[in-house]
Chains A and B, each alone.
Chain A
Amino acid sequence: MKKLTIILNLIFSKGKILALFLAALYCLSASEIAAQNPPTPTPRIDKKTAPTVVTPNPRPLPTPPPAKRVVVNESETPAEKSIVTESKVSINLCVQEGNVRINGWDRDEIRAYVARGSQVGFKIVQTSAKTKKPVWINVLGFDPQTNKEVKPEECLSGTDIELDVPRNATIKLKSGESDIKIESVARVWVANLGGSIFLNDISNGVEATTYRGDLTIERSSGQIVLNNGDGNIIAIDVEPSEIGDFFKAKTASGRITLQGVGHRLIETNSISGSTSFSGELLSGGQYGFSTENGSIVMTVPQESSCKINASFGFGAFASELPLLNSIKKEQSLSAQLGSMDATCGMNLRTGSGVIRIRKRQ
């Protein structure tokens, strides 16, 4: 009561004027603030749970360079050119779009063909000191001899792009959106933003990447590295060309199927997709198969002999072949496959899926 009296006294005294003045002043400033644009909300970080993260200063995104002009083939016939080279030649090319087909033949010559698209030309980067024939060539989307435009588009584009190259050629191909088929060459390095890649009869190694589409390799040898962002990986009848060559396959979402892969060092990884291996487990081999969410099926001969370390998170393990010295824990198993002394090692890991060892019929 006493407090109320004091408040009332204040209101009915000079304090009233002061209070009203302050209220008016506050209203004025608040209205000014309200008239401005509302501030954008900033995301709140819960300091209690967020770990201390040292982040670098944000860098501005690079501004994309202006689009280069594609030198279009205005002739009624498709663009086609050829050049004599060394048998062992390195060929670089990039393709914006179009189905690409590269085929090895028995001539020491490159023939390039582009249908309904850009022109085609060659840029000799290096020649042989002995024969003066090119050993390193860039295949371009224009002819540098006739086209003098400053920096036209170097990448080829068209509906169909075909190259015939010497069998001993090494191909380096970068591509935007293309279905690619490469056959009967020595070595391949290919990166594709989207589209399937088919490789056949590559004699001395492959490194292939596609970010969307299937990746298939058949009857090839050498060191093999296959990466896929979103799609399956299939390898059939692949073997090393030298001791120590390894086989690696990695896909984010897709199946990995290996059949008759003869490398002693095989490593596969998938995030969401199954892995299946069908073939022999070689003595001294090291096999690592892992998937985040999917099954791993190994189909091997009955007489196979290998040490197994399997970890299966929230999955399960089963073997049709007899296992010796088996130590089974809640989420893992280590054992020896076959009755002989194990001469190879196999690491199998799945986050949530099934690991099965099956007997090959």
Chain B
Amino acid sequence: MMEKCFDEATLQAFLDNELEQTLSQKVARHLVECDPCAGLLAEVEEETAFAFAALEQEFGGLVPTQRLWTKINQSIEVQHRQRSFWQNVLAFFSGLRFSNPHVIAFGSLLLIVGVVSTLIVLKNDSISNNVAAIKQTNVPTIQEAQNPTATINAPIVTSPVIDSPAVTPVKADNQKNNAAPQYRVEKAIFTDSRKNPQSPIRDVVDPISRAPQYLDGEESYVTTIARLEQNVNQRKDEVLTGSSRFAYEKDMAVVNDTISKMKREVRRNPKNKDAKQVLFASYQNKIELLSSVTQRSELMASLRD
């Protein structure tokens, strides 16, 4: 049974690639079956083309639409939420007005006092460690590894497997033997930081997994695009003006959207050859889009010669 027809606004959003993925697929399926809707889509497409031509001057100013502003604000909000503790701390300090001499003076005083007191405290501790009696007389403990194959103890580890158990000096000294510090042997305990976000070893990242993982042949596309982007970004303000710039940014957004969609699809199912094909074709389109800016600037230059 054929689904209910979609209204013009939905078709417009479909054309602009702004629908949710599921709804977009639904619309696409419906359009295949429904001739009136396909006709309406063609009309909307024509109207859009007409509007673009008529509003060329308006678009020349690159005025962002309300929808775009909403998207930008949402992105900023998401980024805010994803900021780590240290990024927040950094933001707090960068928010301070360091140009005010009073703030500098106060900060400097605090810093000096802090450093001096820390030094004194540390010195005091070392003196008391050497001189004062320690009440802790616990027998050194041995913690059995729950998973001996994967051992992580240090906060930053460069390899997922450490053969030798971690060794940490024990502060609790034996009263009778101060000179030779005793060691407590701790076999590391494997902890999956993804399962336990409160774990203190969240920062443990394998450098291999940190490196971007490319599909076969993907890296050359990414490298080429990066190089072209660098070149194009330098001169696109000069080469692309008005409606051309608008069209370029729109096309770039469409290509980037397809690339990110297809990347997700390929990550989800690495055996999906169709998604890979579309992904690579989109990379190629991006390269051609970037190259077109260069070709355009070459034509401009040749007309000046």
A residues contacting B by CB (< 8 A) are: 2-3, 6-7, 10, 15, 19, 22-23, 26-27, 30-31, 34, 38, 48-56, 58, 61-62, 64-65, 67, 94, 96, 155, 174-176, 191, 193-194, 209, 211-212, 227, 229-230, 232, 250, 252-255, 269, 271-272, 274, 290, 292-293, 295, 311-318, 329-332, 349, 351-354, 356
Contact = CB atoms under 8 A, between A and B. Distances in A.
Contacts of B303: 94, 96, 155, 174-176, 193
Nearest to A96: B303
Interface of B: 17, 21, 24-25, 28-29, 31-33, 38, 41, 45, 49, 98-101, 104-105, 107-109, 111-113, 116-117, 120-121, 124, 205, 210-212, 214, 219, 222-223, 226-227, 230, 234-235, 238, 243-244, 247-248, 250-251, 254-255, 258, 261-262, 272-275, 277-278, 281-282, 285, 288-289, 292, 295-296, 299-305
Contacts of B299: 174, 191, 193, 211
Contact of A34 (B17, B24, B101, B230): B101
A211 B274 contact: no
Contact of A292 (B29, B258, B295): B258
Contacts, number: 203
A19 B226 contact: no
A349 B243 contact: no
Contacts of B222: 51, 53
B16 to A, nearest CB: 9
Contacts of A38: 99
Nearest to B213: A51
16 contacts: A3-B117, A6-B121, A34-B99, A34-B104, A50-B212, A51-B222, A193-B296, A211-B292, A227-B292, A255-B49, A292-B255, A293-B258, A313-B261, A313-B275, A332-B273, A351-B282
B244 A290 contact: no
Contacts of B113: 19
B25 A23 contact: no
Given A252-B251, A255-B45, A354-B32, 15 more contacts: A6-B121, A27-B105, A30-B104, A53-B223, A53-B227, A54-B227, A211-B244, A212-B243, A232-B49, A292-B281, A313-B275, A314-B28, A351-B258, A352-B24, A354-B38
A255 B289 CA distance: 16
Nearest to B120: A6
Contact of A229 (B230, B238, B247, B301): B247
A49 B240 CA distance: 30
Contacts of A354: 28, 31-32, 38
A294 B49 CA distance: 14
B305 A65 contact: yes
A291 B237 CA distance: 27
Contacts of B212: 49-52
A48 B296 contact: no
A62 B238 CA distance: 12
Given A211-B292, A253-B251, A313-B262, A26 B32 contact: no
A61 B282 CA distance: 29
Given A27-B101, A54-B223, A272-B254, A351 B124 contact: no
B44 to A, nearest CB: 11
Contacts of A290: 281
A317 to B, nearest CB: 7
